[in-house]
Structure 1
Amino acid sequence: MTTTTATQLPADWRDFFALTKPRVMSLVVFTGLCGMIAAPGHIHPVLGFTAILCIAMGAGGAAALNQWWEADLDAGMKRTAGRPLPQGRMDRTSARDFGVGLSAASVLLMGLAIGWLAGVILAVSIFYYSVVYTIWLKPRTPQNIVIGGGAGAFPPLIGWVAVTGDITLMPVLLFAIIFFWTPPHFWALALFVKSDYAKVGIPMMPVVAGEASTRKQILAYSVLLLPLSASPWFIGGTGAVYGIAALALSALFLALSVPVAFRRKAGDEDSMKPEKRLFAYSVFYLFALFAALVADRLLSVQGII
């Protein structure tokens, strides 16, 4: 690997923070926290904070390793060219060591403070994203984001296990919801940044299979997401507050995917309003869905529902 710029600028704390992909981390932390709150049982607030800190550290470490490995690819894409490594604000060895250190510390702390089941799942999630997805899947197959979606689906499972110490059907369903949400979420983005991926040779679905196929698959996953999102209610794991919210949010997700799927003529990246609308809503969707899960749990505990 070589550095991506000729001049190496000094890195500061903001560059290391940027390596953790803070916007992505916020969603990871939120879903992990929601999984913890929704779980039956109780965890001491200090231990709960520690578990969420470990999830954040693990996600940040994996993101840093992702950027260390993909620094040259990031330099070639408009969307990622401003990151610390492509800009030459940090050397790659520092990014790698930061990622490894943060990842290892998160797993060790999770195992010692919370439990080794949670620690092992966290370790698997880090390995899944930084190695299975980043190194193996992403450069080799258009199914990269489908299989790799598991990396971002672990946090609510980890949060649940931190409280209960075991794995049941409910956290598995929460994992599955994020797993099946990831392809339509990410492919909506890939449609309007397709040229970036094509330029650096990443075989994202729109580049390899074409836009028409990608759009139909977005619709297919959106259809699957509707009953899947409500499945925690169907099995009795939540109440009607979550169930009704899940059905309403997923119905709107499906409705927004229809104009994306059946768009007759693809526009350029600046005119893809349906795709950008779906991508923006998909982020809101996951926040709102897991917020409904927490609201349902809190109302149930209070005896309101």
Structure 2
Amino acid sequence: MKLASGPITLSTPEAPFPVLLRQRMSDYVTLTKPRIAVMVLITVGAGYLMGAGMSAKLAPMIHTLLGAGLVAAGASAWNMWIERDTDTRMRRTANRPLPAGRLHHLEVVVFGTAIAVTGVNYLWHALPTPYAAIVSAITFISYVAIYTPLKPVTTWNTVIGAIPGALPPVIGWYAAKGEIGLGGVAIFLVLFTWQLPHFMAIAWMYRQEYAKAGHLMLPVVDETGRRTSRAMIVWCVLLIVSSLLPVMRADFQLADVSYAFGAIFCGVLFLLSTLKFSRERTDKQARQVLQVSILYLPAVMALLMVHAFLLG
């Protein structure tokens, strides 16, 4: 399969210009990883609403979402550029614009850099304090320059990658509060611990493809799944503890005891799915862990937002 290091190729030379244009626009959208971008924007918005509570304003929230969205899209484009060779070895990524040869690698670098820099600058100038812009820049750098290169180097890459993955709600919190505060720390820890069992379930289902691509995920080196299942359980327990931080300290000012019951209920359901995976280490059970994790995050975020408005 030819890599996109030479002239740009799109479909066929005889294709009409509108068809070529639609293909090019579609490829640029693909570079931004829309599904991940949507998840990022949801967590950024949730962080803003949790920080602002009843004082939330539409304009600052839109500014925050726009700037953070541009940074996230730029990071995704850079991620695809860095992994353009390994993507050719995975069936689910082989048709991305770079490995498929539809985009030139230099235009991807320019595109990713331009929108990321634009996003950071937009946050810097559109919001009253620069902290959201600074956290966005840290998120971009840690994702592109640290996590992505470490994927073929160490199984700890998932833990390291959970750091930039947990920073988007902190961007929203900073935009609302102008300072980090203990509440921002609590939100960060919830999202950080949630990501580990979530992504380990994904890595287990696609462990053969990750192995072909040279990504050193834990399930790739853990053939029996024992270490993976133990890690899932440990991180789920830590997630339950993290989710209770907003009610463990009064100065967090995020939630009350009623939130705790909801968080514990959601956390126990998540934990039960990982315990079931430890008994039956199959792709089917890993998918169940993934499905429960996808339900867990919006449920707990919604609980936090509701209590932020009630207590704010």
| TM-score, normalised by the number of residues in structure 1 | 0.91
Q: Report the Cα distance in structure 2 between the residues aligned to 1:292 and 1:159, rounded to whole angstroms.
A: 17
Distance 1:14 1:161 in 2: 33
Q: Residues 204-215 of structure 1 correspond to what in structure 2 (within 5 A)?
A: 204-210=217-223, 211-215=225-229
For 1:209 and 1:52, the matched residues in 2 are separated by: 39
Deviations 1:128-155 (A, max 9, x none): 11111112x2121001011110011011
Q: Per-residue displacement from partner, 1:246-288 (whole Å, max 9, x unpaired)? A: 111111000111011222xx54xxxx21100111221221122
SS in 2 for 1:39: helix
> Contact 2:3 / 2:99 at 8 angstroms: preserved in 1?
no
Percentage of pairs with the same residue: 32
Letter in 2 for 1:16: Y
Residues 94-120 of structure 1 deviation map (CA, whole Å, 9 limit, x = unaligned): 111111111100100101111211111
For 1:179 and 1:92, the matched residues in 2 are separated by 32
Match of 2:47 among 11, 22, 35: 35
Aligned AA (2:58): P
Match runs of 1:178-189 below 5 Å: 178-189=191-202
Is 1:297 equivalent to 2:308 in the alignment?
Answer: yes
Matched, 1:12 2:24: yes
Q: Which moved more, 1:82-91 or 1:117-126?
A: 82-91
State yes or no: 1:94 paired with 2:111: no
Matches within 5 A, 1:261-272: 261-263=278-280, 266-267=281-282, 272=283
Which secondary structure state, in structure 2, belongs to the residue aligned with residue 71 of structure 1?
coil
Query: What pairs with 1:71-82 in structure 2 (closer than 5 Å)?
Result: 71-82=84-95
Counterparts in 2 of 1:1-305, with a 5 A limit? Answer: 2-3=3-4, 8-9=9-10, 11-40=23-52, 42=55, 44-114=57-127, 115-135=129-149, 137-210=150-223, 211-236=225-250, 237=253, 238-263=255-280, 266-267=281-282, 272-301=283-312
Cα 1:40–1:51 shift into 2, 3 Å:
closer
CA distance in 2, matches of 1:195, 1:7: 31
Report the counterpart of residue 17 of structure 2 in structure 1.
Answer: none
Separation in 2 of the partners of 1:112 and 1:145?
A: 33
On the 8 A contact 2:8/2:103 being kept in 1, the answer is no
Q: 1:158/1:7 Cα in 2 relative to 1: closer, same or farther (>3 Å)?
A: closer
d(CA) in 2 for partners of 1:285, 1:78: 29
Contact 1:4 1:75 in 2 (8 A): no
8 Å Cα contact 1:4-1:87 kept in structure 2 = no
Query: C-alpha offsets along residues 180-203 of structure 1, whole Å, 9 cap, x if unaligned?
Result: 111110010111110001112111
CA distance in 1, matches of 2:57, 2:299: 26
Deviations 1:230-250 (A, max 9, x none): 211222321234322211111
Q: Please give the alpha-carbon distance, in whole angstroms, between the structure 1 residues aligned to 2:243 and 2:40.
A: 18
Q: Quick one: distance in 2 between partners of 1:14 and 1:129?
A: 24
Bigger CA drift: 30-39 or 207-216? 207-216
Distance 1:50 1:40 in 2: 14
How many residues were matched structurally? 294
| Runs (5+) with no aligned partner, structure 1 | none
SS in 2 for 1:81: coil
Query: CA 1:299–1:92 in structure 2 vs 1: closer, same or farther (change >3 Å)?
Result: same
Following the alignment from structure 2 to structure 1, what is the Cα–Cα distance between the partners of residues 133 and 158? 24
Contact 2:7 2:104 (8 Å CA) reproduced: no
Cα distance, 1:44 vs. partner?
3.7
Cα 1:242–1:152 change in 2 (3 A) is same
RMSD: 1.9
| 2:132/2:171 contact within 8 Å kept | yes
Moved more, 187-196 or 289-298: 289-298
- Structure 2 gaps of 5+ residues are 11-19
